[in-house]
């Protein structure tokens, strides 16, 4: 497959998931769950309230690892961007 096409489709799918979960404090983690494990599983893992946390509800170790890894890299990227602006 064409890598550009894969990036385009993956970006669209993740963007759609981010919109779906936008009312949850943990919306990024929920979107990553959906991207990695599918919408049905993300629905099962969503917190009982929008203020709740999703990570303790994820019962597939590989998905939990994926979500934690991506969120850690995202935080690292944000910190690097802040350093670059100084």
Rg (CA), the chain: 14
CA-to-CA dists, residue 27 to 4, 70, 71, angstroms: 26, 13, 12
Nearest C-alpha neighbor of 67 from the set 55, 57, 75, 76 = 55
- Model's pTM, two decimal places? 0.90
Determine contact, residues 40/79, Cβ cutoff 8 Å: no
Distance CA 30, CA 62 (A): 15
Q: What are the pLDDT digits (tens) for 7-56? A: 999 999 999 999 999 999 999 999 999 999 999 999 999 999 999 999 99
Say how far apart CA 39 and CA 14 lie, in whole Å.
Answer: 11
């Amino acid at each position: 497959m064409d890598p550009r096409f894969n990036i385009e489709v993956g970006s669209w799918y993740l963007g759609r998931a981010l919109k779906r979960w936008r009312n949850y404090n943990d919306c990024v983690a929920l979107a990553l769950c959906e991207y990695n494990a599918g919408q049905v599983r993300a629905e099962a893992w969503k917190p009982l309230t929008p203020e709740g946390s999703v990570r303790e509800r994820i019962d597939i170790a590989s998905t939990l690892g994926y979500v934690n890894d991506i969120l850690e890299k995202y935080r690292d990227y944000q910190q690097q961007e802040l350093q670059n602006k100084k």
